[in-house]
Amino acid sequence: MTNRPDNRVFGKRAEQHILILASGDRVRHMTVRPWMIALGACVAGAVTIGYLLATSYLVLRDDLIGATMARQARMQHEYEDRIAALRAQVDRVTSRQLLDQQVVEEKVDKLMEQQMALTSRHSRIGTLLDKAEEQGLQGADVPVPAFNPERKADAKGGIKAIESLMTGGKAGEAQPSALAYAPADETVADRADRMFSKVTLSLKTIEREQMTQLQQLTSAADDKAGAIEDILRGSGINVESAEKTQMATETETEDAVGGPFIEPQPTDRFEASIDDLDVALKRLDAARGIATVLPFANPAPQKIITSRFGNRTDPFLGRLAMHSGIDFRFESGERVHCSGGGVVTVAGPSGGYGNMVEVDHGNGLATRYGHMQRILVKVGDKVDPGDVVGLAGSTGRSTGTHLHYEVRRNGQALDPMSFLNAGRRLLAYL
């Protein structure tokens, strides 16, 4: 056979490229095919082209980076401005809450001051009420000034409600009915203002009622004192002089007081009303004191008058004579009572009076009790109306057992009946 050359095109088999990878004792091989080389070249070309295109775009559009950074900076500023605005809003809300709380606290303090004033006034009124009760002024026609318990509870409850507004209220704490229908957008200050007005109105109502009742008591005391003074003047008593004498007597028995004179401090209407009531009660007390001390009581209650004051036929001489007193029928040994308060100036035998007691009642008035069987007091004794001064008898110039009773002013005999009649009228005021 003839040998053919090896470089012939047809019939020659192309040899494949083999990639051998050796690692230690391990040997791997991979056959590299033409399409793999072509694919790798295409990928590398595409990456290179993309990189070149992106670089060219960024180089040509260098303003895009600046715009992005500017937008980010603007967004950051907007966030910072929003945070600052929210912080300022929080500060405003906090400041408003603090201001509202301060306003509410001031109003609560004011309400507490008003309530404390009413409480102190109530204690002062209590003292005057005791005096009024002693003078017989307490009754249906003269209401007693005092707190209305329900209104007082409303006032205290309102104050507690306002205090609860400051803290937002506590669990289980009763809320006032005035807040039950409060609008949803109503602030704490608005609710506090509404509740403050309600409680203030309640306290003002209490104060107005107290003022009215004080004025009623003052009017009643003045009327009663005036009626007593009219009766005293009708009996010839100088009321002003008698009051000065009584005040001087009372001052001697009271605790010593003194101090420099200072003009009185200005007072409000309520204080003025209390002062007016105090003056009226003192006036009434003075008038009652005069009426009690002076001889207006009956020395012989339920006894028959056997001889009146004035001219009469003398039982011993049988001719006209002046009878300087009133004779009361008595049984021997019956008690004789004093007709007023005073000091015993005579206690013993005294001429035609027999055993006689004379009592000085002040203001120039004196009473005499004659013909007694026995005298039970002595000179210098202080006696009160109704005290027993002796036992009835028939001593001295007397035709039988009886009481000879006289009333004298500055030594001059007066008709005792005028004092007995005045005493009956005074019973309605004593």
pLDDT in tens, 167-179: 445 444 444 444 4
Alpha-carbon dihedral of residues 165, 167, 169, 174, nearest 10 degrees? Answer: -70
pLDDT at 336: 96
Query: What pLDDT, in 10s, does the model give residues 187-215?
Result: 656 666 676 777 777 767 777 777 788 88
Phi, psi at 412, each rounded to 5°: -95, 130
Close Cβ partners of 235 (under 8 Å, ≥ 6 residues apart): 294, 296, 418, 419, 422
| Nearest of 362, 415, 383 to residue 237 by alpha carbon | 362
- Cα 145 from Cα 159, distance rounded (Å): 23
Cα–Cα distance between 121 and 56 in angstroms, integer?
97
The mean pLDDT of the chain is 77
Q: What is the pLDDT of residue 343?
A: 95
Map residue 296 onto helix, strand or coil.
Answer: coil
Compute the residue count for the chain.
430
Average pLDDT over residues 343-359: 95
Structure-token pair, residue 139: 């009754």
Q: What is the CA radius of gyration of the chain?
A: 58
Evaluate if pTM is beyond 0.75.
Answer: no
C-alpha pair distances (Å), 265 with each of 32, 117, 369: 123, 17, 52
Residue 164 pLDDT > 90, yes or no?
Answer: no
- Residue 33: strand, helix, or coil: coil
